[in-house]
Structure 1
């Protein structure tokens, strides 16, 4: 009976696994992220030998005893082959490691170099806004640039966001804004959503979607993958999204405000795996330098430092030059078993803001719900 990998639907994962698993008695099943969460987080038996999971879910799964620890001594180059930021989120409170990074973020500022380096665009922007068209240093400059490039009548929007309420990118976007403005989701064990940074964050998104309207309204139904594909198709001038969506022709820079979101996908072993040793052997094979390069060249993002330095990998995407630096200024969601419920609260806040235009009302509701969860 073949081994089974269960993970998220993404063309890069599908292409990578198809190449990596050829000649092996292994099958892979990739489903959308909400279905994956249902089957892994909310169902006792995901029926798989290896899981491909977002790091957000790990604290809850580890606390519930749903994952087995990885024998990291069998992983080639461990630990130094991986940046510290790609080792910490899968570590349990017992000090053991419950996953090996397979696909890396982090979020970066991605932009179309054909637009940003165009002399006419630069001159026009300088004349209107009084400063040079360069990578934005803060969110005010980000908004200026989104407004400048916003030309929906020509099929070009200033930016693109993943607005679909899948407890994924909308939550990350909110936290990135909140952190960059000096706020936090939890302060002193209670909700931090009654703060000035939280109000500024809601005002920013309300402006982005409903006043300046620099995002295609259809993006309210786009997830991170589709929003990345829309950017790749030239439908937006720039965006803050996962590094892996950058093509060799795009520019990459740190997120305005410097702090970026760190979340990544790991290979893990479910506690009910029929043969954990076979699961471990498969992860060991998929974590080799050769396989990591295949992941990168298939449309995923390499996670090993030796891959980041590989000339073939570097030439495939511009972000490999800045990954190490970006990870030094990265943060992640709270390492708390209650995170899936926290994410649901922030997700509903963003859904209300984007779909219902109830920004400040949704913020107050989220603040009250988060306090009830935390106390």
Structure 2
């Protein structure tokens, strides 16, 4: 973002705070206000969804024009969950009806059941996906941004008042909820396809599309094509979309604005100060920000950044084929959240990575992993000068 090579850069939502803190980016609002001739008449930042707020500074100025935004949803195989034989066998084994998981107990039962059911049927299918790569930060992100909040552990378990992670210093990274979350998640490896320990977000999408999992947490950018693209997906017509399971009280906290149930992902295009063509780039970013160019983009990438896109006929048609994925994002997106506003995002996550990798590999217990991760984060915060 500060090399001078590029006129515009992709800004992942989670790294925007680091870029703003280091003053990498041009203030787009200020640039357009100071040169009205650059202001495109058919582009208004008010046309964007609230996701644009992640790319504003404290004064409300825009530093990035959103180009993708999507939630991480719960996908499940309708053909499996609605299978008459499976439903009868599940009730006989667990004593209640088979349905998409709303609780973690249900999720685990579903995962265990379908792993055996699929094997008995001679199917290459397991009970759940796990984004559990033991050498890639995707696994840490699944824990911090998906599993943790659904258990009621927010902002990575770091206390935002003093930037400490350990319970003894006021954090929650090694608290009871966090340890229960990690134990639950690593326990799902028993019911996940063999590629789980080499899976990032891309491999999880591919596994589900190949019909290798009965359920899973899948980034919305993959949901639309998995549900509709017959050339890439073997489960077209059988994809169910729902909110992810949550612990007791989490949904209420999210609805009241005191928590969130999962990750609202996405990114924007911004202009580095080192750009040699700032004015031309402002025009280009506005071109990409037009309502008129959003629908095809939304269909291709499962992403929506403009309020009007939800009602575009093309998007409505795909929504009907994708089990109302876009409708779910429109109506419940407020329950999800982007990454916490940490300028130390990259360094903080990297401090946690090795302990999550070891927990997934079985080299540390979940309790050991989080105790060590919390201590590492506390030490890092002292080194970086954030600890209070």
How high is the TM-score relative to the length of structure 2?
A: 0.79
Counterpart CA distance in 2 for 1:233 and 1:91 is: 39
Give the whole-Å Cα distance in 1 for the aligned partners of 2:298 and 2:139. 22
Q: Please say if 1:55 is aligned against 2:13.
A: yes
Match of 1:264 in 2: 266
8 Å CA contact 1:83–1:324 kept in 2: the answer is no
| Structure 2 counterpart of 1:304, from 303, 306, 310 | 306
Q: Which residue of 1 aligns with 2:384?
A: none
Q: CA distance change for structure 1 residues 99 and 347 in 2, over 3 Å: closer, same or farther? A: same
Structure with the higher helix share, 1 or 2? 2
1:7 paired residue number: none
Taking the aligned partners of 1:170 and 1:314, their CA distance within structure 2 comes to 34
Secondary structure of the structure 2 residue equivalent to 1:137: coil
Pick from 137, 143, 152: which aligns with 1:173? 143
Partner of 2:174: 194
Equivalent in the alignment of 1:292: 294
Instruction: Provide, for residues 189-234 of structure 1, a one-character-per-residue CA deviation record: whole Å limited to 9, x for no partner.
Output: 221212111110121123112xxx1112322222211210111111
How many Å apart are 1:253 and its aligned residue?
Answer: 0.7
Runs of 5+ consecutive residues of structure 1 not aligned to the other structure: 1-39
SS, match of residue 301 in structure 2: coil
Q: Is the 8 A contact 2:143 2:182 kept in 1?
A: no
- What is the CA distance between 1:90 and its match in structure 2? 1.1
Count of residues paired in the alignment: 329
When the two chains are superposed, the root-mean-square deviation of aligned CA atoms in Å is 2.1
Q: 2:327 aligns with which of 321, 324, 337?
A: 321
Q: Pick from 210, 214, 218: which aligns with 2:191?
A: 214
The structure-2 alpha-carbon separation of the partners of 1:357 and 1:174, relative to structure 1 and needing over 3 Å to count, comes to farther
Q: In 1, are the aligned partners of 2:351 and 2:380 still within 8 Å (CA)?
A: no
Q: CA deviation at 1:300?
A: 4.4
Q: TM-score, normalised by structure 1?
A: 0.81
Q: Answer yes or no: is the 8 Å Cα contact 1:83–1:305 preserved in 2.
A: yes
Paired position in structure 2 for 1:369: 376
**Match 2:209 to one of 220, 225, 232:** 232
8 Å contact kept, 1:157–1:216 = yes
Specify the alignment match of 1:163 in structure 2. 132
Q: 2:18·2:344 contact (CA, 8 Å) conserved in 1?
A: yes
Q: CA deviation at 1:127?
A: 2.1
Residue matched to 2:69: 104
| Contact persistence 1:102–1:292 (CA under 8 A) | no
Whole-Å Cα distance in 2 between the matches of residues 284 and 339 of structure 1? 28
Aligned pair partner of 1:125 in 90, 105, 117:
90
Q: Residues 51 and 186 of structure 1: is their aligned pair in 2 closer, same or farther, counting only changes over 3 Å?
A: same
Which of 244, 252, 258 is equivalent to 1:255? 244
- Asked if the contact 1:107–1:260 (Cα under 8 Å) also holds between the matched residues in 2, the reply is yes
Residue of structure 2 in register with 1:21 after alignment: none
Deviations, residues 15-39 of structure 1 (Å, cap 9, x unaligned): xxxxxxxxxxxxxxxxxxxxxxxxx
- Aligned partner (choices 79, 96, 111) of residue 114 of structure 1: 79
Quote the offset at 1:161 in angstroms.
Answer: 2.2
The 8 Å contact of residues 171 and 347 in structure 1, kept in 2 or not, is answered as no
